[in-house]
Structure 1
Amino acid sequence: MKPAGSNPLPPLTAGPHTRRLDLIAVVATFGGLLFGYDTGVINGALEPMKADLGLTAVTEGLVTSILLIGAAIGALACGRLNDLLGRRKALQILAVLFLAGTIGAVLAPGLGVLLPSRFVLGFAVGGASVTVPVYLAELSPTERRGQLTGRNELAIVVGQFLAFGINAIIGNVWGEDDGVWRYMLAVAAVPAVCLFVGMLRMPESPRWLLAHGRDDDALAVLMQVRPEERARAELAEVRELAAEEAQSQLGGWRDLRTPWVRRIVVAGIGLAVAQQFTGINSVMYYGSQVLTMAGFSQSAALIANVANGVLAVLGAVVCLWFLIDRFPRRTLIIGGFVATTTIHLLIAVASAVLPDGLGKAWVTLVLMVLFVFAMQLALNVPVWVTLAELFPLRLRGFAMGLSVLCLWVANAVISFAFPSLVETVGIQGMFLIFAIAGALSIWFLAKRLPETGHRSLEELEEDFSAGRF
């Protein structure tokens, strides 16, 4: 195996291929937008849904977590689906599932239809969380990979922001209607159609094409998104690595017996689970209810919760354009955990010592907004980019699916338990638990997480297999 980087690629120059790659990123990240909207919309839809369907604390947690259980299964299944059918076709299938799940949830007369529909939506969300980052990473040049792959996280938080904003508008205009939550859910049909139609004209991943012996098709795709000299050089690099992978027979569970493969898979799973134990999705799913408990009225909480969406988008934009390709991924991630763990402790202290009233409510809101901003500024974008970069080509679908499966299982457990735990230990106890989990995550990542930035995907694999983590 040659040393990483012994044959530098020709420089990346501007041209029509740059606009083509940007268009591909826009279309693919409709999957991230749907991910964000479908996970964020429950934040405002849950209260009217509880009143309309008579949900208890347990069934409330079930309505939220069934989507996440579906996402866990979808993440693992779509890792394999990506490898079998390709990234492009997988995204088309997921667009159909997004639309079908949305229609079923909107028309659901009760939990008997709502829960299966939310499961289908979750399967699509989990599939998108695996497929979109890998698709973008495999199409992106090394110099732009962090920014382009990270656009999926930007799309996710834009989707959540739209969910919060649309919930606030619909909730305040049609709040007296028992079925107002159905209007909130129905909006997701629009981006689902856009994703399906858009992917009809998008190319397949050149790395997937090469892995399936379609060299000419892979070169044709690379010529769309690179200068010609660069496209031919990248094709040669990926072809050489594919031959080496074929000899080593990577691709499934048995490969976890290989020490360097096991190390990066454990790092990927640990990173994915740690991200969820920040509690970010509990804030995104139950933020309005936390603010109501802190002292806001229900309508004011819906409006105040939009601040979480605004700061999430702002943090993601700053990370994408100023941080992700200028600082090591590992430094950003560990720094993000330090910031979020500190804010968890502050929320726990504020909830315990401040008297009930608007003062406590505003302090809680400010700290929650700072938490969301810190997550997006230094943690969420680098996490998803790192997961998309970490694994070797033939193992990428399997290992990404396994890591994101564990992410969604952790998300489902936390989201199901959150309402009951808050009733039992209060806001301060819940955020203290998140702080302890954050401290453990910092320890694990400092020991196990490798750096993935500023090297091609092929160079990363060569370094890892040679023990250079």
Structure 2
Amino acid sequence: MPKPSTSSDEKIVSSDTIKQRLFFIVLVATMGALAFGYDTGIISGALPFMTQPLDKGGLNLTPFTEGLVTSALIFGAAVGAFISGFVSDRFGRRITLRTLALIFVLGALGTTLAPNVHIMVVMRFLLGIAVGGGSSTVPVFIAEIAGPRHRAPLVSRNELMIVAGQLTAYIVSALMSVLLHDNHLWRYMLALATIPGLLLFVGTFFVPGSPHWLVAEGRLREAVRIMRKLRRSRKEVRKEINQMREQAKASREGPTTKELLKERWVVRLLLLGIGMGAVAQFTGVNAFMYYTPIILKTTGMGTNASLTATIGNGIVAVIAALIALKAVSHVKRRSMLILGLIAVILMQIALGSVLIFLPKDLTQSYLALACILLFLFFMQMCVAPIYWLLMSELFPMKLRGALTGTAVACQWICNAAVAFAFPPMLSAMGNQTFYVFAAVNLVSLIFVCCCLPETKDKSLEEIETMMRKRYSKEDAVPSTIEKA
């Protein structure tokens, strides 16, 4: 009878066990994404009740203070994304997520109990810090845990949880407004945001730290112990650990953090990350998510019907994110992003044309809604998940948290710019606004074709080496096609 294999390359963990462990880790991490989605979506349902007078349970919001309450979270998110990047590089991804979970809970409780507008704005800003910090830390943590084989679909679960949180918020708003008749209804809506925050906090005590960060900190044994639980064979563990050690050694022997920030390839990489944030937000996705009822009401659709259509936005976004989970494992990043931007441009041109050239009737309303839903479908299937995936893998290990945080913070600023600019643009230019968005996205398409390299099927260390070579040359001109 043959003896059991004692090869160092023998299988140490079954594929099913690995999938279960990775599923649990990602589920815990993406509680932050779920809270992110819920917090950004629930405000649209809570605001109508918050505008009521104080004696009727509201906060007596004016149009100005309503804008402050809404935007405070966005500005807080920009600050949170920036700060958390440096914190995660210093203290690790897991500790950062645990801290953000506490901020999530405190912010949610603060908005729930806020006695006046001033406290509400402060608490929304605090909540935004957690939202922004989670948006930059969660994708990086998942990418460093997952490995090349599982990185794309697992990081894409972050986007799925964001849109699932938004859909949950829309449904909760609709159900509570129908079933509960309470002047403080909006407080119940906001209070539910504490649940994913609490789950994230508790969950961080049951998930491992990032092996990449541990190796960079010289804690090799801990990293190996974690990798043996998350990889199929000793050969796979040895290959990835060796890549991490080589990268960590190069980082220690290379320039300091301050010197590295001045290197040409790092600066260009940061500009690429910032540019990708502009690409994602200048699609106008938040104009559609926040202002769909306003757009549809211009066609003559009733208020209730237009509010119900917002739930349709959430459903389409979730379906698109589910499809993206499968697609990212088989389709190149660049190809998906280019397809998404082409569809976004066509839908914006179509929406503008429907609103300008068709008479205001039911046909116009349904065609406009169809354009919006198709826009969101391609946006959430091809653009948003690729953006978050790229943010998790573009930057070098030594500065991954800081650069990701900086790039994501700029993305949040672009988010705020679009949210603020859309209503005045729609008022001043009318439905030609959508042609402007189409033109901006054409520029984005050219940027992606010329500047974005392909990262599919590469380890994080291989991506870092590729980026260093690509952007270090003095006369480097990005190729329009990067072979995987």
- Superposition TM-score tier, normalisation by shorter sequence: over 0.9
1:54 Cα deviation after fit: 4.2
* Counterpart residue number, 1:282: 287
Deviations 1:21-50 (A, max 9, x none): 111011111111111111111232233333
* Counterpart residue number, 1:81: 87
* Counterpart residue number, 2:421: 417
Check if 1:43 corresponds to 2:40.
no
1:316 partner amino acid: A
Check if 1:365 corresponds to 2:369.
yes
For residues 212-231 of structure 1, the aligned pairs below 5 Å read 212-229=217-234, 230-231=236-237
Change in 2 beyond 3 A, CA 1:82/1:260: same
* Counterpart residue number, 2:311: 306
- What percentage of aligned pairs have identical amino acids? 39
Bigger-Rg structure (1/2)? 2
Q: Which moved more, 1:390-399 or 1:408-417?
A: 408-417
* Counterpart residue number, 1:162: 168
d(CA) in 2 for partners of 1:446 and 1:103? 45
1:225 Cα deviation after fit: 0.9
1:137 partner amino acid: A
Q: How many residue pairs end up in the alignment?
A: 457
1:382 partner amino acid: I
1:13 Cα deviation after fit: 6.1
Change in 2 beyond 3 A, CA 1:436/1:56: farther
Check if 1:459 corresponds to 2:465.
no
For residues 84-95 of structure 1, the aligned pairs below 5 Å read 84-95=90-101
Deviations 1:327-382 (A, max 9, x none): 11011112211111111111122222233343332222221111111111111111
Change in 2 beyond 3 A, CA 1:435/1:54: farther
**Which runs of 5 or more structure 2 residues have no equivalent in the other structure?**
1-8, 53-57, 472-481
1:344 pairs with 325, 344, 348, which one? Answer: 348
Q: Which moved more, 1:407-416 or 1:76-85?
A: 407-416
Check if 1:196 corresponds to 2:201.
yes
Q: Which moved more, 1:312-321 or 1:106-115?
A: 106-115
1:317 partner amino acid: L
Deviations 1:236-276 (A, max 9, x none): 22111110122223535x43432222222111110011101
2:330 pairs with 326, 333, 346, which one? Answer: 326
* Counterpart residue number, 1:34: 35
d(CA) in 1 for partners of 2:361 and 2:292? 17
1:395 partner amino acid: L
* Counterpart residue number, 2:278: 273
1:10 Cα deviation after fit: 9.7
CA contact (8 A) 2:10 2:233 kept: no
**RMSD over aligned Cα, in angstroms?**
2.1
d(CA) in 2 for partners of 1:386 and 1:40? 24
CA contact (8 A) 1:92 1:196 kept: yes
CA contact (8 A) 2:300 2:361 kept: yes
Task: Name the SS of the counterpart of 2:257 in structure 1.
Answer: coil
* Counterpart residue number, 2:477: none
Q: How high is the TM-score relative to the length of structure 1?
A: 0.92
Change in 2 beyond 3 A, CA 1:348/1:61: farther
d(CA) in 2 for partners of 1:298 and 1:18? 45
Deviations 1:384-420 (A, max 9, x none): 1011111110111111011101100111122133333
1:290 Cα deviation after fit: 3.1
d(CA) in 1 for partners of 2:296 and 2:109? 30
Q: How high is the TM-score relative to the length of structure 2?
A: 0.89
1:56 Cα deviation after fit: 4.1
Check if 1:443 corresponds to 2:446.
yes
* Counterpart residue number, 2:390: 386
**Which runs of 5 or more structure 1 residues have no equivalent in the other structure?**
1-8
* Counterpart residue number, 2:3: none
